[in-house]
């Protein structure tokens, strides 16, 4: 059986509104989250991700009422992340109507949270978001990755919207989160986020090749071909995008028809 590849719009939330920036800064308003999610539902999105991007920095929980409104109106899986630090936080969000929770900074701080979450709610509910940045200072024990220009680097896990380095090797961390019970990895490269120059293929391919769980490629879509390359060269199971959908450059349907025309199995 051929598994279909998923297309996932991502809605970054701040103060209950959808925002979009470049490299996680320079945010501008993109609309009401439930209205946008409803539009993507109608266009045939396979899932929607809500990320409360200010939650970890501002130490506050995710916006429960937005999740409840969305869950009441939508008939597609909903993943919610941002500010989820405890099993109670996970339970609150799942109870509000989310299908999956995405954890990032809290998983790095307390890796056991992944195991506790998957034991309590099942691996299918636990997504670990991994934000990464290239580090050109090669050190022993790092996973070397060769870039298109021939340079070598390793990818470091960063947290708090890319503002904190962790010293963790991204490929090693991806393997660990899988071992701990994560059901999926949402991989965002700070190098490409918001640039519209395409996904960071070297790290996407490296992580996809290192784990057996689905990897969602995120950060940098600008053209229809970028989605295709995310699946073919990056070996991703799903491709996530934000601004190209929010500002009407493409519909989810257009992306899927393009991919189907190039032989990528999608749900139309």
Active site residues: 12, 131
The pLDDT value recorded for residue 57 is: 53
Burial of 34 (0-12, 13-18, 19+ CB in 10 A): buried
Taking the C-alpha atoms of residue 46 and residue 252, their distance in angstroms, rounded to an integer, is: 9
The pLDDT value recorded for residue 106 is: 94
The pLDDT value recorded for residue 29 is: 72
**Domains identified in the chain and CATH numbers:** 6-261 (3.20.20.70)
Mind listing the pLDDT tens digit of every residue in the chain (268 residues)? 678 999 999 998 887 788 866 545 566 676 788 988 999 999 999 999 998 877 655 544 457 888 999 999 888 999 999 889 999 999 999 999 999 999 999 999 999 999 999 999 999 999 999 999 999 999 999 999 999 999 999 999 999 878 899 999 999 999 999 999 999 999 999 999 888 999 999 999 999 999 999 999 999 999 999 999 999 999 999 999 988 998 889 999 999 999 999 999 999 9
Supply the Cα-derived Rg of the chain in whole angstroms.
17
Helix (H, G, I), strand (E, B) or coil at 160: coil
The pLDDT value recorded for residue 55 is: 65
Count other Cβ atoms within 10 Å, centred on residue 64: 15
């Amino acid at each position: 059986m051929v598994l279909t590849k998923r297309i996932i719009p991502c809605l970054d939330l701040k103060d209950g509104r959808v925002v979009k920036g470049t490299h996680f800064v320079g945010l501008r308003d993109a609309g009401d989250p439930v209205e946008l999610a409803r539009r993507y539902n109608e266009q045939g999105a396979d899932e929607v991700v809500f990320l409360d991007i200010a939650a970890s920095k501002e130490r506050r929980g995710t916006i429960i009422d937005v999740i409840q409104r969305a869950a009441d109106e939508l008939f597609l899986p909903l993943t919610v992340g941002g500010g989820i630090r405890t099993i109670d936080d996970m339970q609150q969000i799942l109870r509000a109507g989310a299908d999956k929770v995405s954890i990032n900074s809290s998983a790095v701080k307390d890796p056991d949270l992944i195991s506790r979450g998957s034991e309590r709610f099942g691996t299918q509910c636990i997504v670990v978001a991994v934000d990464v940045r290239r580090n050109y200072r090669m050190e022993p024990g790092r996973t070397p990755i060769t870039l298109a220009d021939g340079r070598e680097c390793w990818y470091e896990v960063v947290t708090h919207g890319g503002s904190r380095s962790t010293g963790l090797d991204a490929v090693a961390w991806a393997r660990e989160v899988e071992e701990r019970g994560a059901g999926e990895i949402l991989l965002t490269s700070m190098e490409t986020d918001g640039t519209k120059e395409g996904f960071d293929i070297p790290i996407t391919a490296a992580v996809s090749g290192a784990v057996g769980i689905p990897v969602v490629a995120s950060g940098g879509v600008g053209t229809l071909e970028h989605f295709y390359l995310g699946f073919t060269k990056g070996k991703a199971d799903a491709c996530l995008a934000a601004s190209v959908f929010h500002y009407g450059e493409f519909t989810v349907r257009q992306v899927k028809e393009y991919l189907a025309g190039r032989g990528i199995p999608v749900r139309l």
